[in-house]
């Protein structure tokens, strides 16, 4: 479904992602692990069109999307829960969620119910301005908003950040459920243990490069995860 | 009498630095001043009026009515050794800023538009603009004599001292004749909406309305008064004379009297007629009072150059300019110069006719 | 008494021009984050375009207004794309846009001066409904009525669009952070263009109506609206269309009344002193301007 | 060469005077406030100084400190009133102040000479102007390197965070206003000495636009930006008049546009310098 | 080692419109203690920190530092009393390098007058050098010394959090408030922060830490308060708190899930 090859991304002279290859097969849950500054977020931002890569190709179902502007990528079915949430502060929770109609990917009604069901806290606060939500509430909104666009590929950048354990658990249950329903997911998460528990395939990044890849079992066996993290 | 006529002016191109106001708030007038000056330079150069092989030419720098820019322009002219004299300034504050500079640098300056009394200071500074105050009084009095109003309302540009003084003089004259003042409605030079002031003035039910403001407000006031149905007498001032005013106001301005120093429609002297014809040929339209003043400024400088003769310097030119007691090539109709300030003998009171000509005002409606 | 009412209507009509101007100005500030110094030139150019439509093409009044509004909108779009889009693409801040807008203002103002021959033109009296209306001893002009109605309609329409439509939500989202809007599929470019057009069109409407009723079609038309419009935006709360409109009208009335009953030379002094006092007492404008950023 | 100097010395003079206004604006901007009140400080410094020069025949050396002091005092009062307003509300309030200033200047005939203005029978050699500017530059340089500079930058970037670090926002911003007032008042009298004539129009919106444009054009994150910007903004139209006299204004606008598009953070950009330095550092 | 409470909140209340974010909250943090503050999202934890630092004003109640009420002081004065904090949504100064952030944080420890600093007197120069060295030390403490001259906004999220801690330490506080310091860090990195907190405590600092990372709280906090809907639900040792059935319900959700999560860890 998604195939990234030889991706290079940089900030000025700082090379954040270096000739990176990565695949997400349909209905798979793939994760990227790596220490702070490894380049995980940059990779996701590049796929979503928020950061313009300097080289390489990003294909969605064989179609190059690496040069498309963000909204076109989203309209093609890629949704991102970004690092730092990026909720639209001056809009209410409900307005934030309703914006996803611009992705033009289907009716929203039942999905809205599903989001409110997953995060009752959002339903309570639906007419509050998003900028005044607590950190965790904003994170919920960012996840809900991505779900609302009914993506074919969901990119999650540390979705559990700032969430209380009960909600973390719900989010992971939701991820697992979505995955079970056939949703393709690319997940970046610091919590390696949970992640390796639920994913189909994992990449380990270090200083902008993939240093290891494989099924969770093979990675655990190789001890590669630990090594990359301590680096 | 006087000393024997000096030697003929040495051949060459004599340059006059013209600080123009061809952009900015009063560019509509500034362009006329410049056009008049350019015509004068052409005429003087064409027939060698100052002497064989002599030319006069106008160097232009735009100040956009900004005093700081005008000062920089003047400094550049001063630095240019080939510039023998300068002319500038429609606005009095700008003229005031430039004045000390030319005096200390020693270059003659002919002011072509500013009307503040006391600006000229021979031998360096001269003004080619007739002070309008006395003519306003004459117009007001003539209006009162013919239409016999009981009470009048005045419009005043409150942020313009010259107009304040002009209004004061006219009002004193009228009150002496027994004409009551119903009210004074102030406006500001930069205003654009005159509906409210017109409503205010009409609320006082005057028999006549006298306008002492700059051009844009005057035009706006007349338009607003007429639109709101005011049919009484209106008296304007010289700012109504350019053709553009008639073009804009049309019937609304017909029959409104105002005094005037120059009008192409009323040109009688040969110089004036030649000026009108030359202007028309060069620019395709009639000259207005502003072009006449720009024209006079250059002619005045040429007059000084011719009188100086030989190889004049800025200082010798200043000396001969100071010795001039009238403008010889004039389009106003007889202009004495006292203390560097031009003056005029007669006053013509005119009004726009329905077909867009300036005609002498008779008082009849 | 009738004088008072007539002056009230005069103030409303004048204030409606400020309001129309302020709506667009505030819209651009609230959604695109730009203090647009060139906003006034849209009004001047709209009036010039409408006048040309009348004089060259002989269009009737409603069409001429439409031409002016479209010209204002088109200019808004053009200025945005030339002066603001490059900065936006580089992620530069609002101050830079202030300077490019000043640059655009210089250029457009000067070209307007050239277009009008540095003159102040006016619409031929037969090209618009120029009559007076008399209701119970009160006189006001048809143009004043039209201006007030236009202002009310524009305010209502703009308010509904910005506050109660999905596109309005997208506008506010793009204004907050382009990327935040883009990641749910909003095309920021399209929203920006639409916003710039609407703002320019509102300014254009003010320009055409103002150009007709003040008999002044020149580059100074927009400049005259600029300061008052800006004041209205801040008093009314820049992110509230209704507030800006209300403040604009109030400013017009205040101006007319202080000239009528106090003094013209102090008129602007009174207006701005009241404005200053108001700001110091209510630092967040008429409708409070709720904050959406946490402590 | 001498001719060139004579022709453009006044341009240089005005550029330097504008640099004072730009520095005055920079002083408040560097503490996170956009204020046009500099125009008012300049008006007070200018008119007061001019009156002293005319009536008490004080020499410039005495007039200038008085102007600076009066500007600083006024700025202190303005700060007391304005510091409760944030960001663009302060910008508007200060704009209102500028407009009120003009009305006052028009009507306070005793101080300002009203619409007729006021002649200032003093002049200032250019080198003195340059020397004063140099002194002010040293002041700004030292300030930016001092604790005040660090604190002001923190307040500018995030006042709330700065406060939780113990940086007293009000005090820093009051100091900023006072500096702005002193430099603005000084600029006001220097402009009077350059023009040798003052009128209510002298201190008006034009100055506000000049100074803000100069600061942003030059780069609003470094004091030197204000000076560079003032020079460019003043000299550009004059140079363009010499080059393309017919399209001077339009060309001027286009030049400003191009500068901002290609250098959106101004001609002097410390951030770019930092980025470059970080890149060179062999830290990784 | 435990002594009189350094920080004391008593009956603190804060509402936003109809929403009561903090309700009659009482809380004590003894000097030299690492206290944890936990609770579901939206429980009011960040609001409590905002109230302590003065960014928000309590509707009622007392906040006292070393027994003296501080709730009426301006924000910077509260900081000057020795309270520093980090932010849940990282709030670093734009355009400043990592080192400059910490220098700005050291404002309270500048030890020179404006005049001396302005005139660059030798004493001021020496003080500045010292502040610089201290700032570098602090950066080293959070593991960011090598990045001192980089613009903070170009660092990754986790790195920025560390700069925030260093900046707060720059102020030389006695009480440090950390709002989710390890969000976005992995287990090893979180543990490094926990160890850092312990060394800070050993240097005499008191720490109040908002955290969702249960293991971090269990391992490094001396006491814990769990909030829910603006109230303090329980207060005690980490183990006791985690075992509390109410906490289990409010914080970990349905029991089976809580067990599963812990099983996953
Ligand atoms: N805006 C930026 N400008 C310059 N450099 C940046 C920028 N954002 C990130 N970087 C650099 O790029 C590298 C990769 O950053 P990225 O955010 O992708 O890492 P990450 O793996 O997501 O880290 P974390 O786990 O901390 O979120 C880092 O070294 C960082 O310093
Ligand atoms: N300024 C405000 N205006 C309105 N509501 C607010 C404001 N600040 C906070 N809230 C609300 O108060 C509640 C408590 O917020 P707070 O940020 O304290 O929660 P928290 O415990 O820190 O949550 P999290 O763990 O998600 O960060 C939230 O529901 C939030 O929406
Ligand atoms: Mg990341
Ligand atoms: Mg929180």
Write the pLDDT tens digit of every residue in B142-197: 999 999 999 999 999 988 878 888 999 999 999 999 999 999 999 988 888 899 99
CATH fold for domain E5-82+173-264: Rossmann fold (3.40.50)
Strands (E), chain C: 132-135, 138-141
Average pLDDT over residues A181-189: 92
Give me the pLDDT at residue E254, please: 56
Six-digit token string for B24: 């900015």
Contact between B83 and B60 under an 8 Å Cβ cutoff? The reply is no
From atom 22 of ligand 2, which residue's Cα is the shortest distance away?
Answer: E46
B16 touches B56 (CB < 8 A)? yes
Q: Which residues of chain E have pLDDT under 50?
A: 1-2, 258, 261-265
Of C29, C87, C106, the CB nearest to D261: C87
> Closest ligand 2 atom to the C-alpha of E40?
25
Residue A138, pLDDT > 90, answer yes
Radius of gyration of chain C (CA): 19
**Surrounding residues of ion ligand 3, Cβ less than 5 A:** A 41, 83; E 157
Binding site membership of E22 for ligand 2 (Cβ less than 6 Å): no
CB proximity E55 to C under 8 Å: yes
Residue ranges of chain B whose CB lies within 8 Å of a chain D CB: 23, 60-62, 64, 66-69, 71-72, 75-76, 78-81, 92-93, 96-97, 99-101, 116, 159-161
The pocket around ligand 1, CB under 6 angstroms, is made up of A 11, 14, 16, 34, 36-42, 83; E 153-158, 184
- Point out the least confidently predicted range of A12-16, A120-124, B180-184, C103-107: A12-16
The CATH class that applies to domain D13-280 reads: mainly alpha
Q: How much is the average pLDDT of B207-227?
A: 94
- The reply to whether residue D92 touches residue C230, judged by beta carbons under 8 angstroms, is yes
Domains of chain C: residue spans and CATH? 2-281 (1.10.3470)
Mean pLDDT of D188-206: 88
Please give the distance, rounded to the nearest whole angstrom, from the Cα atom of residue C43 to the centre of ligand 3: 47
Looking at residue C288, its pLDDT comes to 60
pLDDT > 70 fraction of chain C, expressed in percent and rounded: 97
Residue to mutate among B58, B61, B72, B82, with most D CBs inside 10 A, is: B72
Q: Give the count of alpha carbons within 13 A of C3, CB side only.
A: 12
- CB contacts, 8 Å: E154 with chain D: 275, 278
Place of tokens 């076109």: A72
Whose C-alpha lies nearest to ligand 2, atom 2? Answer: A132
Touching check for C265 and chain B: CB below 8 Å? yes
Which residue's alpha carbon is nearest to atom 12 within ligand 1? A16
pLDDT band (50, 70, 90) for residue A229: low
* pLDDT of B359 over the 70 cut: yes
Q: Where are the domains of chain D?
A: 13-280
Residue A181: pLDDT over 70: yes
The residue ranking higher by pLDDT, B148 or C293, is B148
List the Cα angle B33/B38/B41 in 5-degree steps: 130
The tokens for E16 are 């936003």
pLDDT at residue B301, rounded to an integer: 96
Give the CA angle between residues D209, D210, D213 to the nearest 5°: 80
Contact E45 CB / ligand 2 (< 6 Å): yes
Does an interface of 3+ CB pairs under 8 Å exist between A and B? no
pLDDT in tens, D96-107: 899 889 889 988
What are the chain D neighbours of E93 within 8 Å (beta carbons)? 153-154, 157-158, 161
Taking residues A26-54, report their average pLDDT: 92
Beta strands B151-157; B109-111: pairing state: unpaired
- Least Cα separation, residue D173 to chain E (angstroms): 14
From start to end of chain B, where are the E strands? Answer: 12-20, 54-62, 83-88, 109-111, 125-127, 151-157, 180-187, 208-212, 233-235, 258-260, 326-327, 335-338, 341-342, 348-352, 358-360
**Alpha-carbon distance B279 to B332, whole Å?**
15
Which of C168, C172, C184 to mutate against chain A (most A CBs within 10 Å)? C184
Average pLDDT rounded to a whole number, residues C213-235:
86
Alpha carbons C168 and C145: distance in angstroms, whole number: 29
Q: Range with the lowest mean pLDDT among B326-335, C25-34, D46-55?
A: B326-335
Contact C294 A130 (CB under 8 A): no
Q: A-chain residues within 8 Å CB-CB of C185?
A: 71, 74-75, 99-100, 102-105, 149
E strands in A26-169 = 29-34, 55-60, 63-64, 78-81, 153-157
Q: Is E43 in the pocket of ligand 2 (CB under 6 A)?
A: yes
D161 touches chain C (CB under 8 A): no
Q: What is the rounded CA–CA span in Å between residue E91 and residue C295?
A: 11
Instruction: Give me the CATH topology for the region A2-86+151-230.
Output: Rossmann fold (3.40.50)
User: CA B130, B131, B132 angle in degrees (round to 5)?
Assistant: 105
Where residue D206 falls among pLDDT bands split at 50, 70, 90?
confident
The full set of domain ranges for chain E reads 5-82+173-264
pLDDT digits (tens, 9 = 90+) for C159-183: 999 999 999 999 999 988 889 999 9
Instruction: Say whether residue E254 is in contact with chain D using an 8 A CB cutoff.
Output: no
Instruction: Quickly list DSSP for chain E.
Output: ---SEEEEEEEEEEEETTEEEEEEEEEEEETT-EEEEE-STTSSHHHHHHHHHTSS--SEEEEEETTEE-TTS-HHHHHHTTEEE--SS--PPTT-BHHHHHHHHGGGG--S-HHHHHHT-HHHHHHHHHHHHHHHHHHHHTT-GGGTTSBGGGS-HHHHHHHHHHHHHHT--SEEEEESTTTT--HHHHHHHHHHHHHHHHTT-EEEEE---HHHHHHH-SEEEEEETTEEEEEE-HHHHHH-HHHHHHHS-SHHHHHHHHHH-
pLDDT in the model for residue B237: 93
User: Considering only C202-206, D87-91, D158-162, D210-214, which range has the smallest mean pLDDT?
Assistant: D87-91
In angstroms, the separation between the Cα of residue C264 and the nearest Cα of chain B is 6
The sheet carrying B233-235 orders its strands as B180-187, B151-157, B208-212, B233-235
Q: Give, as one character, the DSSP assignment of residue C239.
A: T
Residue E265: per-residue pLDDT: 38
Test site for ligand 2: of A122, A134, A142, most ligand atoms within 8 A of the Cβ: A134
Query: Which residues contact residue C157 at a Cβ distance below 8 angstroms, ignoring those fewer than 6 apart?
Result: none
- The verdict on E108 touching D (C-beta cutoff 8 Å) is yes
pLDDT tens-place string over residues A41-96: 999 999 999 999 999 999 999 999 999 999 999 999 999 999 888 999 999 999 99
Whole-prediction pTM value? 0.90
In the predicted model, is pLDDT for residue A223 greater than 50? yes
Q: Whose CA is nearest to atom 29 of ligand 1?
A: A37
Tell me if A106 sits within 8 A of A150, measured CB to CB: yes
Q: Whose CA is nearest to atom 4 of ligand 2?
A: E16
What mean pLDDT is reported for chain B? 90
3-state secondary structure of B126: strand
Q: Is D213 on the interface with C (CB under 8 A)?
A: yes
DSSP C284: T
The answer to whether residue E56 neighbours chain C at the CB level (below 8 Å) is: yes
Give the residue on D whose Cα is nearest the Cα of B117: D116
Q: Is D161 on the interface with E (CB under 8 A)?
A: yes
- Assess whether pLDDT exceeds 80 at residue C117: yes
- Model pLDDT for residues C140-150, shown as the tens digit of each residue: 999 999 999 99
Q: Which of D81, D205, D253 sits opposite C106 (nearest CB)?
A: D253
Q: Which chain C residues are Cβ-neighbours of E56 within 8 angstroms?
A: 295
CB C13 within 8 A of CB C256: no
Neighbouring chains of A at 3+ CB pairs under 8 Å are C, D, E
* Closest Cα in chain D to B96: D197
Q: How far apart are CA A133 and CA A139, in angstroms?
A: 9
Burial of C261 (0-12, 13-18, 19+ CB in 10 A): exposed
């Amino acid at each position: 479904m998604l195939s990234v090859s030889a991706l290079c991304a940089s900030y000025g002279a700082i090379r954040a992602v270096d000739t990176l290859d990565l695949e997400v097969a349909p209905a798979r849950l793939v994760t990227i692990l790596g220490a702070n500054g490894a380049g995980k977020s940059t990779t996701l931002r590049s796929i979503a069109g928020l950061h313009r890569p300097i080289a390489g190709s990003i294909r969605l179902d064989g179609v190059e999307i690496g040069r498309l502007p963000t909204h076109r990528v989203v309209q093609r079915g890629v949704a991102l829960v970004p690092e730092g949430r990026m909720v639209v502060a001056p809009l209410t929770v409900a307005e934030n969620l309703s914006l996803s109609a611009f992705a033009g990917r289907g009716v929203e009604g039942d999905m809205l119910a599903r989001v409110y069901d997953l995060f009752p806290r959002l339903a309570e606060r639906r007419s509050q301005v998003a900028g005044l939500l607590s950190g965790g509430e904003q994170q919920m909104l960012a996840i809900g908003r991505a779900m609302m666009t009914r993506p074919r590929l969901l990119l999650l950048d540390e979705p559990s950040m700032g969430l209380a354990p009960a909600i973390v658990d719900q989010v992971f249950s939701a991820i697992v459920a979505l995955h079970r329903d056939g949703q393709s997911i690319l997940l970046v998460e610091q919590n390696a243990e949970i992640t390796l528990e639920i994913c189909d395939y994992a990449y380990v990044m270090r200083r902008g490069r993939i240093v290891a890849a494989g099924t969770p079992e093979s990675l655990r066996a190789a001890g590669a995860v630990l090594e990359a993290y301590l680096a | 009498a006087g000393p024997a006529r000096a030697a003929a002016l040495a051949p060459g191109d004599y340059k006059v630095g013209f600080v123009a106001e061809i952009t900015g708030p009063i560019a509509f007038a500034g362009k006329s001043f410049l056009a008049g000056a350019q015509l004068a330079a052409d005429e003087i150069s064409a027939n060698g009026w100052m002497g064989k092989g002599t030319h006069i030419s106008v160097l232009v720098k735009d100040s956009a009515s900004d005093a700081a820019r005008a000062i920089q322009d003047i400094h550049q002219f001063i630095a240019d050794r080939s510039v023998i004299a300068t002319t500038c300034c429609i606005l009095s504050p700008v003229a005031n800023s430039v004045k000390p500079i030319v005096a200390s640098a020693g270059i003659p300056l002919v002011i072509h538009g500013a009307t503040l009394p006391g600006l000229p200071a021979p031998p360096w500074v001269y003004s080619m603009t007739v002070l309008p105050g006395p003519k306003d009084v004459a117009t007001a009095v003539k209006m009162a004599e013919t239409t016999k109003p009981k009470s009048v309302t005045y419009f005043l540009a409150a942020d313009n001292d010259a107009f304040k003084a002009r209004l004061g003089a006219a009002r004193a004259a009228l009150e002496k004749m027994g004409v009551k003042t119903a009210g004074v409605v102030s406006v500001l030079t930069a205003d654009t909406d005159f509906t409210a002031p017109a409503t205010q003035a009409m609320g006082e039910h005057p028999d006549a309305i006298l306008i002492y403001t700059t051009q844009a407000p005057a035009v706006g006031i007349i338009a607003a008064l007429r639109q709101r149905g005011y049919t009484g007498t209106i008296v304007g001032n010289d700012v109504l004379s350019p053709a553009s005013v008639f073009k804009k106001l049309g019937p609304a301005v017909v029959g409104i009297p105002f005094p005037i120093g120059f009008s192409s429609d009323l040109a009688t002297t040969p110089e004036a007629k030649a000026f009108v014809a030359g202007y028309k040929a060069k620019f395709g339209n009639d000259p207005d009072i502003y072009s006449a003043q720009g024209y006079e400024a250059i002619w005045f400088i040429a007059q000084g150059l011719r009188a100086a003769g030989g190889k004049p310097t800025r200082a010798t030119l200043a000396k001969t300019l100071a010795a001039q007691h009238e403008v010889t090539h004039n389009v106003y109709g007889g202009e004495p110069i006292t203390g560097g300030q031009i003056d005029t003998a007669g006053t013509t009171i005119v009004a726009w006719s329905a077909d867009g000509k300036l005609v002498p005002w008779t008082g009849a409606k | 008494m009738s004088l008072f009412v007539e002056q009230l209507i005069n103030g409303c009509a004048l204030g409606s021009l400020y309001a129309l101007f302020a709506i667009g100005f505030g819209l651009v500030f609230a959604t695109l984050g730009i203090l647009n110094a060139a906003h006034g030139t849209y009004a001047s150019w709209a009036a010039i375009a409408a006048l040309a439509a009348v004089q060259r093409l002989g269009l009737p009044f409603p069409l001429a207004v439409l031409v002016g509004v479209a010209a204002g909108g088109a200019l808004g779009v053009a200025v945005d794309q030339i002066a603001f889009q490059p900065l936006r693409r580089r992620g530069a801040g609002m101050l830079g846009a202030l300077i490019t807008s000043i640059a655009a203002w210089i250029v457009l103002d000067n070209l307007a001066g050239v277009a009008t021959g540095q003159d102040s033109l006016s619409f031929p009296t037969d090209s618009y409904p120029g009559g007076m209306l008399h209701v119970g001893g009160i006189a006001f002009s048809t143009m004043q009525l039209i201006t007030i109605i236009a202002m009310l309609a524009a305010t209502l329409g703009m308010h509904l669009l910005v506050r109660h439509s999905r596109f309005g939500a997208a506008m506010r989202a793009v204004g907050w952070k382009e990327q935040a809007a883009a990641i749910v599929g909003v095309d920021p470019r399209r929203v920006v263009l639409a916003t710039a057009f609407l703002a320019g069109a509102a300014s254009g409407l003010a320009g055409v109506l103002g150009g007709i009723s003040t008999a002044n079609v020149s580059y100074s038309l927009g400049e005259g609206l600029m300061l008052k419009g800006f004041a209205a935006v801040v008093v009314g709360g820049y992110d509230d269309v209704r507030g800006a409109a209300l403040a604009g009208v109030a400013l017009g009335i205040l101006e007319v009344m202080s000239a009528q009953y106090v003094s013209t030379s102090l008129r602007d002094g009174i207006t701005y002193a009241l404005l200053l006092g108001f700001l110091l007492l209510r630092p967040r404008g008429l409708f409070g301007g709720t904050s959406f950023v946490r402590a | 060469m001498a001719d060139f100097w004579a022709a453009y010395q006044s341009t240089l003079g005005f550029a330097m005077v504008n640099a004072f206004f730009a520095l005055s604006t920079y002083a408040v901007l560097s503490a996170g406030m956009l204020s046009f009140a500099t125009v008012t400080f300049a008006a007070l410094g200018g008119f007061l100084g001019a009156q002293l020069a005319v009536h008490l025949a004080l020499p410039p050396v005495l007039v200038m400190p008085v102007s600076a002091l009066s500007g600083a005092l006024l700025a202190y009062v303005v700060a007391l009133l304005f510091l409760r307003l944030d960001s663009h509300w302060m910008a508007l309030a200060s704009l209102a102040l500028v407009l009120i200033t003009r009305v006052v200047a028009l009507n306070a005939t005793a101080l300002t000479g009203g619409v007729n203005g006021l002649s200032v029978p003093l002049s200032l050699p250019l080198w003195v102007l340059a020397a004063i500017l140099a002194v002010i530059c040293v002041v700004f340089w030292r300030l930016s390197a001092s604790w005040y500079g660090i604190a002001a930058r923190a307040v500018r970037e995030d006042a709330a965070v700065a406060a939780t670090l113990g940086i007293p926002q009000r005090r820093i911003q009051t100091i900023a206003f006072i500096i702005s007032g002193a430099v603005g008042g000084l600029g006001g009298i220097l402009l009077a000495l350059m023009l040798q004539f003052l009128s209510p129009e002298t201190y008006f919106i034009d100055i506000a636009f000049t100074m803000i444009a100069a600061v942003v054009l030059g780069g609003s994150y470094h004091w030197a930006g204000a000076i560079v910007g003032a020079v460019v903004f003043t000299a550009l139209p004059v140079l363009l008049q010499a080059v393309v006299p017919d399209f001077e204004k339009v060309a001027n606008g286009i030049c400003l546009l191009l500068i901002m598009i290609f250098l959106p953070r101004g001609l002097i950009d410390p951030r770019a310098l930092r980025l470059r330095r970080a890149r060179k550092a062999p830290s990784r | 080692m435990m002594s009189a409470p350094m920080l004391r909140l008593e009956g603190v209340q804060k509402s936003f419109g109809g929403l009561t974010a903090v309700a009659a909250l009482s809380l004590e943090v003894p000097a030299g203690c690492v206290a944890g503050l936990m609770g579901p999202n939206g429980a009011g934890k960040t609001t409590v920190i905002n109230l302590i630092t003065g960014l928000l004003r309590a509707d009622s109640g007392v906040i006292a530092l070393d027994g003296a009420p501080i709730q009426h002081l301006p924000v910077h004065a509260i900081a000057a009393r020795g309270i520093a904090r980090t932010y849940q949504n990282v709030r670093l100064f734009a355009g400043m390098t990592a080192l400059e952030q910490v220098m700005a944080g050291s404002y309270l420890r500048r030890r020179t007058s404006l005049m001396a600093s302005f005139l660059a007197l030798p004493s001021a120069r020496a003080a500045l050098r010292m502040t610089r060295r201290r700032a570098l030390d602090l950066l080293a403490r959070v593991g960011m010394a090598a990045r001192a001259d980089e613009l903070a906004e170009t660092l990754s999220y986790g790195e920025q959090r560390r700069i925030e801690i260093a900046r707060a330490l720059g102020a030389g506080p006695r009480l440090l408030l950390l709002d989710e310091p390890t969000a976005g860090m992995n287990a090893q990195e979180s543990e490094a922060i926990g160890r850092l907190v312990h060394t800070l405590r050993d240097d005499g600092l008191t720490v109040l830490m908002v955290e969702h990372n249960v293991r971090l709280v269990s391992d490094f906090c001396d006491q814990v308060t769990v909030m829910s809907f603006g109230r303090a639900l329980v207060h005690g040792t980490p183990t006791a708190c985690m075992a509390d059935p109410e906490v289990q319900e409010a914080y970990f959700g349905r029991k089976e899930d809580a067990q599963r999560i812990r099983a996953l860890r």
